[in-house]
Amino acid sequence: MTIEQSSLARINQRLMSFISPDLLLAFSPAQLNKEKEITKRERALIKKIRQASQLPGQGEESLSAEVDSLDIQRLGFLIKKYEEVYRITPFDEQIVALIRSIEGYKNPKIKGKIEELKTSEGKSSVIIPIFTAYLRLQGETVQVHSVNPYLTERDYKNFLTFAKNLGIDQEVGLLDSPYNKEVLEKKIVFGL
């Protein structure tokens, strides 16, 4: 095991202690993902999602057992809101990461699969805000953890801007202490 793999294993073990394995979505700067290429099916989903972000409410047939027409509409809606707030259009690779995250969330055979992206590929700024909002729309309680207090606060503030636009900002909290019950009762919690 290399030093990088050992460090990654320790980080993932720490993440596992905080996050339910059923909803685990961890990111690493290491490029270990062998499924990096965008498949034909994923390209078709990207097209449908981009159409849904421009024409909300359009019904689309399912292109995947896990990603259905409601997911396409939700992602389209969230991407449109994200673009309104940040004036940034997610890249295809970021949308693929969102698709794979949704598939991991919905498919019991691959739940807990770790999606890995390089540094500066939009994990904190694009993928986590949109996927967190998607999970909240599914009725989930979401905890987003980082090992760095600065990044935790930055990501919380970044998400709060998006949450305000979605009308869910009252559900979001920053965990400054593991004993802060008020924050722990929130539906979306950012913490260490």
Indicate whether 53 and 108 sit together in one domain. Answer: yes
Residue 105 lies in a domain: yes
27 in helix, strand or coil? Answer: coil
CB-side exposure of 156: number of CA atoms within 13 Å?
22
Indicate whether 100 and 75 sit together in one domain. Answer: yes
Looking up tokens 């034909």 gives: 40
Residue 124 lies in a domain: yes
- Residue 113 confidence class, pLDDT cut points 50, 70, 90: low
Residue 28 lies in a domain: no
Indicate whether 93 and 155 sit together in one domain. Answer: no
Task: Report the pLDDT value the prediction gives residue 174, as an integer from 0 to 100.
Answer: 93
Indicate whether 84 and 51 sit together in one domain. Answer: yes
Q: Which of 96, 116, 140 is the last residue of a domain?
A: 140
Q: Examine the pLDDT at 10 and tell me if it is beyond 70.
A: no
Q: Which of 140, 155, 178 is the last residue of a domain?
A: 140
Residue 130 lies in a domain: yes
| Structural domain count, the chain | 2
Indicate whether 104 and 171 sit together in one domain. Answer: no
Q: Answer for the pair 99, 45: CB distance below 8 angstroms, yes or no.
A: yes
Residue 186 lies in a domain: yes
Task: Report the pLDDT value the prediction gives residue 65, as an integer from 0 to 100.
Answer: 52
Task: Report the pLDDT value the prediction gives residue 106, as an integer from 0 to 100.
Answer: 83
Contacts 24+ apart (CB under 8 A), 33-42: 33/115, 33/116, 33/117, 35/100, 38/92, 38/93, 38/96, 42/96, 42/99
pTM over 0.75, yes/no: no
Cα→Cα distances 91→57, 108, 114, 121, 126, Å: 22, 27, 20, 9, 9
The mean per-residue pLDDT over the stretch 46-70 comes to 59
Residue 18 lies in a domain: no
Average pLDDT, whole number, for the chain?
74
Indicate whether 127 and 55 sit together in one domain. Answer: yes
Q: Which has the closest alpha carbon to 30: 10, 51, 47?
A: 10
Residue 98 lies in a domain: yes
Task: Report the pLDDT value the prediction gives residue 54, as an integer from 0 to 100.
Answer: 61
- Residue 125 confidence class, pLDDT cut points 50, 70, 90: confident
Indicate whether 173 and 91 sit together in one domain. Answer: no
Q: Examine the pLDDT at 23 and tell me if it is beyond 70.
A: no
The total of other beta-carbon atoms located within 10 Å of residue 9's CB is 11
C-alpha span between 138 and 119 (Å, rounded): 28
Q: Examine the pLDDT at 28 and tell me if it is beyond 70.
A: no
Indicate whether 113 and 89 sit together in one domain. Answer: yes
Indicate whether 110 and 145 sit together in one domain. Answer: no
User: Comparing 61-75, 102-116, 157-171, which segment has the lowest mean pLDDT?
Assistant: 61-75
Domain that holds residue 168: 141-192
Task: Report the pLDDT value the prediction gives residue 17, as an integer from 0 to 100.
Answer: 36
Task: Report the pLDDT value the prediction gives residue 116, as an integer from 0 to 100.
Answer: 72
Indicate whether 74 and 132 sit together in one domain. Answer: yes
